[in-house]
Structure 1
Amino acid sequence: MRWPRRNGTQGEIIIENVLCTGIAMDKDKYLYVSECERNEVRKWLMGEKIGTIVAGGRGQGNGFNQLNSPSCIFVDQDYSVYISDEKNHRVMKWIKDATEGIIVAGGQGEGNDLARLSCPRGVIVDPFGTVYVADTKNNRIVRWSKEAEDGTVVVGGNNQGSLQAQLYSPQGLSFDQQGNLYVVDRLNNRIQKFDIVPNSSSQ
């Protein structure tokens, strides 16, 4: 659905019959949609009836050309698509026109050490290519620098809870222009804002 900003009372259906778990838009206003049941991400031009597969679409699996329940997505300025590949416990990057993805976070199986993720969802990438992941079942936000084998916990990771320093099933992520990180702290029924320390490789 799309709602005009000046009149939010009536929506417009622009894509039908999709089990959408994530949505993003690139700088050319193409819409990207992750479909968890089809294990694929499609790119749509407004008005198209059938989108173009840009990631996955080769059945459920853990190959570099496959996805398993993709959820949140992010598209950078180079049209690379970052995908929380939830049941593979990894984040994949698909460069424009690629036939397979690159693991940029996790991918070592489910776990709670710094090399692993557990059902990641929210994903966002800063201008330096650093990936921030809502590591949902580990109740933390993890930062992965380019080509890093391990992540760094920037928020949470100290058990589920409702204290300000804790999260409970974090989901969506967003940055503002000042670099503050906003987190959908789902099972605490709140949005949290964090002034995080910049990654040293991004300074």
Structure 2
Amino acid sequence: MTSAASAIEKLKGTWDYVDGENFDEYLKEMGISWAIRQTAKAVKKEKMIISVNDNGRWILKSESTFKNTVYEFTPGIEFNETRADGEEVKSIITLDNNTGRWIHEATDKQGRKVHIERYVDDKDQQQVELTCGNVKAHRRCLQSAHTRNDGICSYLYVTCSELNACAVDNQICLEPEHECVTHRRCHNAPLCYLMNMATETVCSPISTTTTGGNYGSNLDQLMAPHGMFVDYDDAIYIADGANQRVVKWIPGATTGQVVAGGNGKAGGNEQGPAKNQLIAPQSVVVNDSSTVYVVDYGNDRVTRWSEGSTSGNIILGQPGWGDDTSYISRSTDLVFNRHRNLYVLDNMNVRIPKFTIDKSACSAVSTSIKSYITVT
């Protein structure tokens, strides 16, 4: 086997995306919507599994908190591929035995072309180079040290001397809170990574799907879900980000019901600033009266939806930056404390405003900012 062919073989296995550059601009050039791009930014963990089946067809499976996808292909033969935003494109993948690279060409219905190259470098890290139009992006991956269905997304550039070798045939770590990974920059053998250096702890492959389980806009599907809330009856409320809605799933149900956003449509794909609309909702809280509070990320506001209503009330927010706490910008979370005070994570204004119930005072946590608002 030539060194280039051997390099292609190295692409097989389970890979964890670690970091990248200019990926959002690349998605924008592809025509991916703003809401989908914001959702992609929020992905906590993403990995891919590359394999070859008994028929010689290659399989690429991507797993993330945004969407799971899988496609099979025969090198050099065109196939239909569905992107993360649901767009179908024509793709062809070739394996270049001269350079050891996986070359992926795709064309969408508007004629936009994407060029992707994957290869394993001399440190056994997978490099992914992406081009769309004049925009170039780059992503980097580490390979899992073994074949279990888990992995970590972590910081690459640790001090190598801090990492100890894995034990028991390079499979496990004897130190608590460590995970065995491959990190060729530091050593050829697998090493133990301290989990507080990772952006997310290892996830168990054993789970039960209670809602969704497949990607789309029907009521038995979700698209880029974010925050969720479980009430005392074990009903689950989900901020279904890319569907611009909040859906409620009761225990044992096979479909959800729209309780906020969606503009009355089952698919919930409508987005906008109207009171019956949302843009990329991020977080949801429900009180004892089944009133739903939603962080409406794209509209820079918090809305309140009474049970059974088809339209919400704006209780907080207007777009922009400023000391006045009537402004919130790119907020991603909210919570009520035991005194029923409302706290909002106001990202772009770098503060956490606290809003009281049945009082007129409002102050921003850790600042001297004051304004007045009544939240009931």
CA distance in 2, matches of 1:80, 1:87: 21
CA separation in 2, counterparts of 1:189 and 1:159?
14
Say which of 201, 204, 208 aligns to 1:52: 208
Residue 66 of structure 2 corresponds to which residue in structure 1? Answer: 36
In the alignment, which residue of structure 2 is the partner of 1:88?
Answer: 243
Query: Residue type matched to 1:129 in 2?
Result: S
Instruction: Please state if 1:159 is matched with 2:159.
Output: no
Shift of 1:190: 1.4
Hey, what does 1:72 align to over in structure 2?
227
1:99 is aligned to 254
Residue 301 (structure 2) pairs with residue 140 (structure 1):
yes
What is the aligned partner in structure 1 of residue 279 from structure 2?
118
Find the counterpart in structure 1 of residue 144 from structure 2.
Answer: none
Give the whole-Å Cα distance in 1 for the aligned partners of 2:279 and 2:205.
35
Contact 1:56–1:65 (8 Å) recurs in 2: yes
Any residues of structure 2 matched to 1:19-34 within 5 Å, and which? 20=44
Q: CA RMSD, aligned part only?
A: 2.1
Q: Which amino acid aligns with 2:251?
A: K
CA distance in structure 1 between the aligned counterparts of 2:352 and 2:299, rounded to whole angstroms: 18
Q: Which of 213, 218, 222 is matched with 1:63 structurally?
A: 218
Question: How high is the TM-score relative to the length of structure 1?
Answer: 0.73
1:81, distance to aligned residue in structure 2 (A)? 0.6
Q: Distance in 2 between matches of 1:159 and 1:194?
A: 18
Cα 1:20–1:102 change in 2 (3 A) is farther
CA–CA distance in structure 2, aligned partners of residues 96 and 106 of structure 1: 22
State the 4+ residue runs in structure 1 displaced beyond 4 angstroms.
196-199
AA aligned opposite 1:54: T
Residue aligning to 1:128: 289
The aligned residue for residue 195 of structure 1 is: 356
Distance in structure 2 (CA, Å) of the matches to 1:95 and 1:66? 14
- Tell me if structure 1 keeps the 8 A contact 2:315–2:375: no
Deviations 1:52-100 (A, max 9, x none): 1111112x21100001100011111111111000010000001011111
Say which SS state the counterpart of residue 55 (structure 1) adopts.
Answer: coil
Distance 1:146 1:129 in 2: 6
SS in 1 for 2:352: strand
Task: Tell me if 1:168 matches 2:329.
Answer: yes
The correspondence for 2:311, drawn from 144, 147, 150, is 150
Supply the distance in 1 between the matched residues of 2:295 and 2:68 (Cα, whole angstroms).
22
Structure 1 CA distance for aligned equivalents of residues 275 and 293 of structure 2: 13
**How many aligned residue pairs are there?**
161
Q: C-alpha separation between the residues in 1 aligned to 2:232 and 2:282?
A: 21
Q: Which moved more, 1:118-127 or 1:48-57?
A: 48-57
SS in structure 1 at match of 2:210: strand
Amino acid at match of 1:149: T
Letter in 2 for 1:35: T
Q: Which runs of 5+ in 1 are unaligned?
A: 1-16, 22-33, 40-46
CA contact (8 A) 1:173 1:182 kept: yes
Asked if 2 retains the 8 angstrom alpha-carbon contact of 1:38 and 1:57, the reply is no
TM-score, normalised with respect to structure 2: 0.41
Identity %: 37
1:37 CA drift (Å): 2.0
Equivalent position amino acid for 2:241 in 1: E
Bigger Rg, structure 1 or 2: 2
**Which residues of structure 2 form unaligned runs of 5+?**
1-15, 17-42, 46-63, 70-202, 264-269, 358-373
Give CA-to-partner distance per residue, 1:77-125, whole Å, 9 cap, x none. Answer: 1111110000100000010111110000001210001000011001101
